[in-house]
């Protein structure tokens, strides 16, 4: 089995959120299973921020990528670009950087007007590379809309190609974020080399929704938790693609399983381990929790809080995106402060979402602190040093913070949604069996209520220690289930792609 993974993020090279962690950890974990003939290939744009280890053995290959990526020539009347692929074996996979400075040598990963063009280039560069190398692959695994271009442009431009155009080449699309689709209106189609009426464009549509097109075309589609997979089929959480995902789920693979499903992410227990975490003031483990108090004191000193105050310290870390519910914590803050709590918030992204915290932190610097940046070391200190970890996400395909918090002995307070619902057991509903606190309504009151349950539980020191212990014992290791589930999905995708096409005309996905 040979797997090629394509994504816009991969930790530690380029990361904006959980996507980067998953792409890295899954590739590494798949490589360790012994089920692959060679390490996973991970294609990633060579953003300006990507820094390779000095002295790394990098192989380069230049491929000509046809399409609207450079000036027209006789051979390529629609234009082409010479793109350098820099490959190195590292972290248990083969990282393959797609280096095209016009597209990727910029500050930041996303958010440019020409993102569809940039990620269209990524997709075609992958296809051209695989084609030039001429080595058969079994599974093309693409993540989110940015990499979905690989599947869509393959169907449009490479049908019948000996390597990438084979019908039997299986594709798996993993959706980490259903809110971002990669929508391109009719005037923009040319930036992908497409035109209205192309077969990858929905008939009569006002453009192309690249995530939609990937869902339609991929052999199998998954998202990153079973609960989110179910929620994504509803109008409330489906972001307009619920009918498309339902259409996919209504089809079965050869094993009779739906072609759209959920696989819960894991975390890497070696990367997230309070016993070996070099950023912590004092290491600790489930067997010896003493160091956690040292981490708490260190964190509080760093942010200018009184380390002697035993009141609950709430941590929250994330992308400043409406999804994450920072506004709910800001709104609940006065009520939480009134109960003696203090808040440590870290986030990067939309500065408007940080504004309420900035104001609160100015008024009460002794009780609220905002670290408005992406700070790896501080994140680890918050996971370890806080008493509770807050995740009031409005929706959450999986979420990673709650899993890290569990492992760091910091019980999570979460909204019952998506992967949060799948990973945290509510102590209020299951006294003596819980690992955290779960609320049903994504409102400031819902969040404050759940925090108050947690404050009360914390009053019983022995009961609290048992709750912490249960959380630390939860096994979310990639190797304990998720990696095998991806291998199984890969095998099902390969079998389905190899099977003869069903008789009759294939139905199209409902338009987005
Ligand atoms: C996205 C989702 C998050 C998930 C992550 C990795 O960031 O919002 O829920 O954990 O991708 O799959």
Which residue CA neighbors atom 7 of ligand 1 most closely?
18
The pair of structure tokens assigned to 133 is 């190398």
Atom of ligand 1 minimally distant from the CA of 399? 10
Atom of ligand 1 minimally distant from the CA of 21? 6
Measure 396 CA to ligand 1 centroid, in angstroms.
7
Cβ burial 267-299 (10 Å sphere, 16+ → b, else e): bbeeebebeebeebbbbbeeeeeebbebbbbbb
Query: Does ligand 1 lie within 6 Å of residue 126's CB atom?
Result: no
The pair of structure tokens assigned to 445 is 């009151």
Atom of ligand 1 minimally distant from the CA of 396? 9
Measure 224 CA to ligand 1 centroid, in angstroms.
7
Distance of CA 226 to the CA centre of its chain: 15
Ranges of residues in the chain whose predicted pLDDT is under 70: none
Which residue CA neighbors atom 1 of ligand 1 most closely?
176
Pocket test for ligand 1, best of 10, 400, 401, 485 (most atoms within 8 A of CB): 400
Measure 376 CA to ligand 1 centroid, in angstroms.
17
DSSP-derived 3-state class of residue 249: helix
CA distance 323 to 59: 40
Measure 22 CA to ligand 1 centroid, in angstroms.
8
Single pTM value for the model: 0.96
Query: Does ligand 1 lie within 6 Å of residue 151's CB atom?
Result: no
Query: Does ligand 1 lie within 6 Å of residue 417's CB atom?
Result: no
> What residues pair up with 413 in beta bridges, in sequence order?
390, 437
Measure 265 CA to ligand 1 centroid, in angstroms.
9
- Residue 385 sits at the vertex; the CA angle it makes with 379 and 391, to the nearest 5 degrees, is 60
Residue-averaged pLDDT of the chain? 96
DSSP-derived 3-state class of residue 238: coil
Q: Does residue 12 have a cis peptide bond before it, meaning omega lies within 30 degrees of 0?
A: yes
pLDDT, residue 511, reads 85
Query: Does ligand 1 lie within 6 Å of residue 248's CB atom?
Result: no
pLDDT, residue 505, reads 77
Question: CB neighbours of 405 closer than 8 A, spacing ≥ 6?
Answer: 315, 383, 386, 389, 411, 412, 436, 471
DSSP-derived 3-state class of residue 363: helix
Measure 18 CA to ligand 1 centroid, in angstroms.
5
* 170 φ/ψ angles, rounded to the nearest 5 degrees: -80, 150
Query: Does ligand 1 lie within 6 Å of residue 18's CB atom?
Result: yes
Atom of ligand 1 minimally distant from the CA of 397? 9
Measure 399 CA to ligand 1 centroid, in angstroms.
5
Measure 383 CA to ligand 1 centroid, in angstroms.
18
pLDDT, residue 420, reads 98
Residue for token digits 């974020």? 177
Which residue CA neighbors atom 5 of ligand 1 most closely?
18
Tens of pLDDT, residues 293-311: 999 999 999 999 999 999 9
Query: Does ligand 1 lie within 6 Å of residue 393's CB atom?
Result: no
Atom of ligand 1 minimally distant from the CA of 419? 9
Which residue CA neighbors atom 12 of ligand 1 most closely?
176
Query: Does ligand 1 lie within 6 Å of residue 398's CB atom?
Result: yes
Distance of CA 369 to the CA centre of its chain: 26
Query: Does ligand 1 lie within 6 Å of residue 399's CB atom?
Result: yes
248 with 212: CB under 8 angstroms?
no
Query: Does ligand 1 lie within 6 Å of residue 177's CB atom?
Result: yes
CA distance 424 to 427: 9
Q: Is 77 left (phi over 0), alpha (psi -120 to 50) or beta?
A: alpha
Atom of ligand 1 minimally distant from the CA of 265? 12
> Domains plus CATH for the chain?
3-48+89-95+103-266+481-498 (3.40.50.2000), 290-474 (3.40.50.2000)
Question: CB neighbours of 289 closer than 8 A, spacing ≥ 6?
Answer: 409, 465, 468
Atom of ligand 1 minimally distant from the CA of 418? 9
Q: Where are the beta strands (DSSP E) in 232-350?
A: 260-262, 313-320, 342-349
pLDDT, residue 506, reads 80
Tens of pLDDT, residues 50-90: 999 889 999 999 999 999 999 888 899 889 999 999 999 99
Query: Does ligand 1 lie within 6 Å of residue 176's CB atom?
Result: yes
């Amino acid at each position: 089995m040979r797997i090629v993974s394509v994504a816009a993020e991969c930790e530690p090279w380029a990361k904006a959120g959980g996507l980067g962690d998953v792409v890295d950890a899954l590739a590494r974990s798949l490589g360790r299973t012994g089920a692959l003939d060679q390490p996973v290939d991970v294609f990633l744009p060579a953003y300006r921020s990507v820094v390779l280890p000095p002295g790394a053995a990098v192989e380069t290959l230049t491929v000509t990528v046809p399409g609207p990526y450079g000036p027209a020539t006789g051979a390529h009347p629609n234009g082409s670009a010479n793109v350098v692929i820099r490959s190195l074996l590292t972290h248990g996979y083969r990282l393959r950087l797609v280096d095209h400075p016009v597209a990727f040598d910029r500050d930041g990963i996303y958010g440019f007007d020409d993102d569809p063009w940039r990620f269209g280039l990524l997709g075609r560069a992958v296809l051209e590379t695989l084609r030039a190398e001429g080595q058969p692959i079994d599974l093309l695994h693409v993540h989110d809309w940015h990499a979905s271009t690989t599947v869509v442009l393959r169907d449009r431009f490479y049908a019948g190609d000996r390597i990438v155009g084979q019908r039997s080449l299986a594709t798996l699309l993993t959706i980490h974020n259903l809110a971002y689709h990669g929508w391109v209106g009719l005037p923009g189609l040319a930036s992908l080399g497409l035109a209205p009426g192309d077969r990858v464009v929905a008939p009569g549509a006002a453009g192309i929704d690249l995530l939609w097109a990937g869902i339609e075309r991929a052999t199998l589609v998954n998202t990153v938790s079973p609960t989110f997979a179910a929620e994504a089929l509803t109008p409330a959480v489906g972001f307009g693609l619920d009918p498309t995902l339902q259409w996919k789920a209504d089809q079965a693979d050869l094993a009779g399983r739906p072609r759209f499903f959920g696989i819960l992410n894991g975390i890497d227990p070696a990367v997230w381990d309070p016993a070996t975490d070099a950023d912590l003031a004092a290491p600790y483990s489930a067997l010896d929790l003493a160091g956690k108090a040292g981490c708490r004191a260190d964190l509080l000193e760093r942010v200018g809080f009184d380390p002697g105050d035993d009141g609950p310290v709430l941590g929250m870390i994330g992308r400043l995106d409406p999804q994450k519910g920072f506004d709910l914590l800001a709104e609940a803050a006065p009520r939480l402060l009134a109960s003696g709590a203090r808040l440590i918030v870290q986030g990067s992204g939309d500065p408007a979402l940080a504004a309420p915290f900035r104001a609160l932190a100015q008024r009460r610097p002794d009780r609220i602190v905002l670290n408005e940046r992406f700070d790896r070391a501080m994140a680890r200190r918050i996971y370890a040093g806080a008493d509770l970890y807050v995740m009031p996400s409005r929706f959450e395909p999986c979420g990673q913070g709650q899993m890290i918090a569990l492992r760091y002995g910091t019980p999570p307070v979460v909204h019952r949604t998506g992967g949060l619902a799948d990973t945290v057991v509510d102590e209020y509903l299951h006294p003596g069996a819980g690992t955290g606190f779960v609320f049903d309504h994504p409102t400031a009151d819902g969040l404050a209520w759940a925090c108050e349950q947690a404050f009360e539980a914390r009053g019983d020191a022995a009961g609290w220690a048992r709750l912490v212990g249960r959380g630390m014992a939860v096994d979310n290791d990639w190797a304990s289930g998720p990696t095998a589930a991806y291998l199984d999905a890969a095998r099902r995708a390969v079998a389905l792609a190899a099977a003869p096409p069903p008789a009759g005309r294939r139905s199209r996905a409902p338009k987005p």
